[in-house]
Structure 1
């Protein structure tokens, strides 16, 4: 499953050169994964009420081309790995009209309880684990 989130670049996201500032891409990644989680019938709020948290422990972003104010961009979000306490999301940020790749990224998360102790989602929340495992995109299945 590849989840698509589309929006327009806001003026406040650009720098003095008129380009989207690099600090916005991790925020856009969060938008993509939050919307993907929601589409799966889950929510971060509900997961937190159940006592499981999902902090980012690693983030990578490769910038390929620039976006500018009022460009329509699309975030393609997919689950790349679900294993033990580890969950990896992968992202492509594209110009919506041309599909030109602007950035490619990845975030690694760990499932933890409220005391920040790692938990195995498969053991503690098997239904959530099953939903996420079912949408892992394998290499080669990444086309839009």
Structure 2
């Protein structure tokens, strides 16, 4: 019998969901960096609801929950479609920083692309 998915891998799933959300919104991270901005993770949390096993097919919903002056908060819901079980939920907050690592205002173009409302 195959084992359960290692807990830290859920953060990899969240990262993949975040990258896909940015792509779907028309945001290319390399252009963000070329403009002097980066979005490092300032905080991350996960709640493990049920176990995923190796070879389970999973679906991840990623949403923009909040845009602030210099940060964006994203939420994640990971499900197993076979039984519609929620596997994990999570949240990340990303600070918008300049090349010196100082928090700066989210670029207007990013704000417009990610606006949840």
Q: Is the 8 A contact 2:70 2:105 kept in 1?
A: yes
Distance in structure 2 (CA, Å) of the matches to 1:68 and 1:86: 34
- What is the aligned partner in structure 2 of residue 89 from structure 1? 74
1:105 matches 2:87: no
1:127 matches 2:109: yes
- What is the aligned partner in structure 2 of residue 32 from structure 1? 17
Q: Is the 8 A contact 2:2 2:54 kept in 1?
A: no
Runs of 4+ deviating beyond 3 Å = none
Distance in structure 2 (CA, Å) of the matches to 1:99 and 1:119: 40
TM-score by length of 1: 0.77
Secondary structure at the counterpart of residue 58 of structure 2: strand
Tell me the CA shift for residue 128 of structure 1: 1.5
- 1:1-144 paired onto structure 2 within 5 Å: 18-121=3-106, 125-133=107-115, 135-136=116-117
Distance in structure 1 (CA, Å) of the matches to 2:64 and 2:103: 19
TM-score by length of 2: 0.94
Tell me the CA shift for residue 98 of structure 1: 2.4
Q: CA RMSD in A?
A: 1.4
Q: Is the 8 A contact 1:34 1:43 kept in 2?
A: no
Tell me the CA shift for residue 17 of structure 1: 6.7
Aligned residues: 117
5+ residue gaps, structure 1: 1-15, 137-144
Tell me the CA shift for residue 132 of structure 1: 1.2
